[in-house]
Amino acid sequence: MMIGRIQAPPTVRKGEPFEIKVLVQHPMETGFRRGMNGQSIPMNVVNKLTCTLAGREVFSAELGSGVAANPYLAFFAVATQAGEIVVEWSDDRGETGRLTAAFTLA
Amino acid sequence: MKRRHFLALPALAAVPARAQTGRFQPAQDVGPLVRKLADGMAPAEGGIEVELPQIAENGNSVPMRIRVDSPMSAADHVLAIHIIAERNPRPLVATFHLSAASGKAEVSTRVRLAGTQKVRVLAELSGKRFRIAQRDVLVTSAACLDESL
Amino acid sequence: MNTAGRTLLAALVFSGAATRADIIAPKPLKSGIEFQGADVQALQRDEFANPGMLWVTRGERLWKAPAAQGPACASCHGDAAKSMRGVAASYPKHDAALGRVVDLEGRIRACAAAQQKREAPAWESEELLSLSAFVARQSAGLPIAVAVDGPASAAFERGRSLFFERQGQFNLACTQCHDRNWGGTLLGERISQGHPADWPAYRLEWQSLGSLQRRLRACYFGVRAAQPAFGSGDLVALELYLAARARGLAGAPPGGAQVAKIVHNPAGPNYNGSQPRSDRSRSQRRGTTQDKKNKRVDSQARADRSESLVRA
């Protein structure tokens, strides 16, 4: 179960940029660490995150091990119609997560 | 008293000393990476605002905000923003893809910085134009330690 | 900053056997976050961006999820915002059914085994931390109010005795740093009063949420003492003494991320000191006037550091 948090205004103005904040629970394992047993912990990071607005992609990110654990991203988007914000991500192991937030136009 | 003191100090220092082993690596030449990302072109300086603490308290999580000057119109907008940390084992920290639908070329995140270094931000704008900015960050506790207990 | 110049040196030199029972609380009580830098404080205050809140989010889901052969937490306890309000602030607490004092994590484990008929979640597991973070969150802004009398008195006395007991190869007691030298520096770290108000906490050093027991075990490691096992009576007793010592402290202000305190590496050289460590060690060993001067420089550097967080 992937956990994340999303924050966006419930009501936005058409054509006016608004901020979307996303926080994803993930260790962003670098592959450089070793566990207590001396074995190296394999790299596993959220490598891709995309955000669509009413079906249209507004932002995407390719992340590496240089992004802090439990990655935080904030970015802007412009809406032309009401709908849903969908944020999806996947990690090196192929696990995926999804967050949604609905918004209306003012 | 002196003896106690003498005994205590190296021992107290032992925790960071252990952590320091093999922790740092020298800055790499990120020129080739920048050229590759910029399609062989020399990016122009300026036009990018980077908010980054001058002194980061912990390299595991350094807050960063990037703002690129752009009208963000269909004809003229930011397509991509790259974060490059020359002293990280993998210098390309992240790439963000934007479009006119972003409305505003501003992105915030938190990065890991493996030691004091220059952090570069490269932006790709419409019409194969590139801009670059760099900031010095003093990292007072390096990232990438194994702190499992 | 009244004690900013003081260091471990002072602790070692001036601390006698501080076993007086009346030494309960440092005055004034200061939450651990007050000893952190401006950007860490900002991160803790940001209720959305604080990564510890992810564990609260997961805990809320777990709270509502039925166990395979038993009820969900919510089946018995209902809406946590009501039923769990103030509960975490009363732990560690004596549990009549168990016949001993348990901390919040111990209580959750016992409940899982007895009521949900399942294996108790492992100490320090993501599941246990998420549940305790979620329950602790319901006490955000409320003052710590633990009972130390009656059936809890033995654990309290044990915890108090541990707090003042010199331990490990360094021969140090909790009290030497956290009663007598809070506000001072230990390597690059400012010494806090050692309160349990904000736990479990997200530490940048751990890059994860962790329990107070984990933090206490790190202190045992720090003084080179044998670490008590998770869930051991000694750790719980110490937790109870710490809670009693912090009674009335509400931790982060309302709306703050009380259960998700973020602190930086206490052991690391996260320090913008004015001289290399080897020189510092020498001057500290000498304990000279130069040493005192350096300490002032150090505290000044620290003050400058917090001022210099200019977003360049």
Using a CB-CB cut-off of 8 Å, the residues of chain B touching A30 are 89, 112, 144
pLDDT tens column, B73-88: 999 999 999 999 999 9
pLDDT value, residue C47: 83
pLDDT value at position C141?
85
Question: Residue C297's CB: how many other CB atoms inside 10 A?
Answer: 13
pLDDT, mean of residues B37-53: 95
Q: Are C271 and C299 in contact (CB under 8 A)?
A: no
Distance separating alpha carbons of residues B31 and C195, to the nearest angstrom: 48
Q: For B80-94, C202-216, C218-232, C274-288, which range has the lowest pLDDT when averaged over its residues?
A: C274-288
When CB atoms are compared, the residue of C169, C218, C277 closest to B13 is: C277
Q: What is the pLDDT of residue C251?
A: 57
d(C-alpha B61, C-alpha B43), whole Å? 28
Which chain A residues are closer than 8 Å to B91 by Cβ?
A: 66
Residue to mutate among B55, B57, B61, B116, with most C CBs inside 10 A, is B57
Q: Do B16 and C308 touch (CB under 8 A)?
A: no
Within 10 A of C61 (CB to CB), how many other CB atoms are there?
Answer: 12
CA–CA gap between residue C218 and residue C155 (Å, rounded): 21
Buried b (16+ CB within 10 A) or exposed e, A85-101: bbbbbbbeeeeebebee
Give pLDDT, residue A38.
Answer: 84
Mean pLDDT, residues A101-106 taken together: 92
Instruction: Specify the pLDDT at position C25.
Output: 81
Q: Chain B closest CA to A1's CA: distance in Å?
A: 23
| Number of cross-chain residue pairs from A and C with Cβ atoms under 8 Å apart | 38
CA B9, chain centre distance (Å): 34
Is the pLDDT at C149 greater than 70, yes or no? Answer: yes
Please list every residue in chain A whose beta carbon sits closer than 8 Å to the beta carbon of residue C49: 21, 23, 72
Residue C172 has pLDDT above 60, yes or no: yes
Q: Which residues of B touch A65 (CB under 8 A)?
A: 88-90, 112
pTM for this one? 0.81
Local confidence band at C45 (pLDDT 50, 70, 90 cut-offs) = confident
Task: Kindly state whether B63 is in contact with chain C, defined as any CB-CB distance less than 8 angstroms.
Answer: yes
For A57, phi and psi rounded to 5 degrees?
-70, 130
Using a CB–CB cutoff of 8 Å, tell me whether B55 touches chain C.
yes
Which tens digits make up the pLDDT trace of A37-50? Answer: 889 999 999 999 99
Highest mean pLDDT among B9-23, B135-149, C175-189, C225-239: C225-239
A residues 43-72 closer than 8 Å to C (CB): 68-70, 72
Q: Do B148 and A36 touch (CB under 8 A)?
A: yes
Residue A25 is nearest to which of C48, C49, C58, comparing CB atoms? Answer: C58
What is the count of residue pairs from A and B with beta carbons less than 8 Å apart? Answer: 104
Question: B95 vs B37, B137, C96, CA distance in Å?
Answer: 10, 20, 56
Average pLDDT across chain A, whole number: 95
Whether C177 sits among the annotated catalytic residues: the reply is no
More confident residue, B22 or C267: B22
Q: What percentage of chain B carries pLDDT values higher than 90? A: 68
Nearest residue to B98 via CA among A53, A85, A9, A57: A57
Residue C81 has pLDDT above 80, yes or no: yes
Q: What is the C-alpha to C-alpha distance for residues B86 and B25, in angstroms, rounded to an integer? A: 10
Q: How many CB atoms lie within 10 A of CB A73?
A: 24
Query: C232 or C307: whose pLDDT is higher?
Result: C232
pLDDT digits (tens, 9 = 90+) for C11-20: 433 333 333 3
Residues of B in contact with C187 (CB under 8 A): 12-13, 16
Interface contact flag, B16 C267, Cβ < 8 Å = yes
pLDDT, averaged across chain B: 83
CB contact under 8 A, C285 and B2: yes
Q: Which of B63-72, C19-28, C143-152, C267-276 has the lowest mean pLDDT?
A: C267-276
Q: How far apart are CA C160 and CA C162, in angstroms?
A: 5
- 3-state DSSP call for residue C2? coil
pLDDT in tens, C65-74: 999 999 999 9
pLDDT higher than threshold 90 for residue A75: yes
The percent of residues above 70 in pLDDT, for chain B, comes to 77
Reduce the DSSP state of residue C77 to 3 states and report it.
helix
For residue C252, the model assigns a pLDDT of 52
Residues A33, B111: C-beta atoms closer than 8 Å: no
User: Residues B48, B130: contact at Cβ < 8 Å?
Assistant: no
The encoded tokens of residue B133 equal 């900015």
C272 or B60, higher pLDDT: B60
Which residues in chain A have their CB less than 8 angstroms from residue C55's CB? 25
Question: pLDDT confidence of C187, banded at 50, 70, 90?
Answer: low
pLDDT score of B144 more than 70: no
Q: Which residue has better confidence, C261 or C25? A: C25
Residue B128 burial (C-beta neighbours within 10 Å; 0-12, 13-18, 19+) = exposed
Predicted local confidence at residue C309, as pLDDT: 25
> Residue A77 in contact with residue A17, Cβ under 8 Å?
yes
Residue of C nearest to B16 (CA): C268
Q: Please say if the pLDDT value at position C3 is more than 50.
A: no
Neighbours of chain B (3+ CB pairs under 8 A): A, C
In terms of pLDDT, which residue wins out, A34 or C85?
A: C85
Q: Is A9 on the interface with B (CB under 8 A)?
A: no
B124 alpha carbon, distance to own chain's centre? 17
**What order do you get walking across the sheet with B48-51 strand by strand?**
A4-7, A18-24, A72-77, B106-111, B62-68, B48-51
Nearest CA in chain B to C188: B140
Task: Inspect the interface and report whether the beta carbons of C268 and B141 lie closer than 8 Å.
Answer: yes
Q: Which of B24-28, B65-69, C226-230, C284-288 has the lowest mean pLDDT?
A: C284-288
Task: Categorize the per-residue pLDDT at B24 as very low, low, confident or very high, splitting at 50, 70 and 90.
Answer: low
Q: What does the pLDDT read at residue B141?
A: 64
> Which candidate from A5, A21, A68 shows the least CB-CB separation from C54?
A5
Contact A67 B144 (CB under 8 A): no
| pLDDT, greater one: C158 or C269 | C158
Q: How confident is the model at residue C295 (pLDDT cuts 50, 70, 90)?
A: very low
Q: Which of B103, B113, B146 sits opposite A77 (nearest CB)?
A: B103
- Measured in whole angstroms, the distance separating CA C148 from the mean position of its chain's CA atoms is 19
Rounded percentage of chain C residues whose pLDDT exceeds 90 = 46
Residue C174: C-alpha distances to residues B105, C15, C247 (Å): 50, 11, 18
Q: Which residues, other chains included, contact C300 with Cβ-Cβ below 8 Å and sequence gap of 6+?
A: none
Whether residue A1 and residue C54 make contact (CB cut-off 8 A), yes or no, is no
User: Which chain B residues have a beta carbon less than 8 Å from that of A74?
Assistant: 107-109
Inspect the interface and report whether the beta carbons of B54 and C312 lie closer than 8 Å: yes
Interface predicted TM-score (ipTM) of this complex, two decimals: 0.95
Q: Verify whether the Cβ–Cβ distance B5 to C284 is below 8 Å.
A: yes
* Of C64 and C249, the one with more pLDDT: C64
Chain A: give the shortest CA distance to residue C207, in Å: 6
CA of C76 vs chain B CAs: smallest distance (Å):
35
Query: C-alpha A61: how far from its chain's center?
Result: 8
| Amino acid C247: pLDDT | 87
> ∠ CA(B60), CA(B24), CA(B20), 5° rounding?
80
Mind listing the domains of chain B with CATH numbers?
25-139 (2.60.40.2470)
B12 touches chain C (CB under 8 A): yes
Beta-carbon separation of C205 and B145 below 8 A? yes
Which of A46, A60, A75 is the best substitution to test chain B (most B C-beta atoms within 10 A)?
A: A75
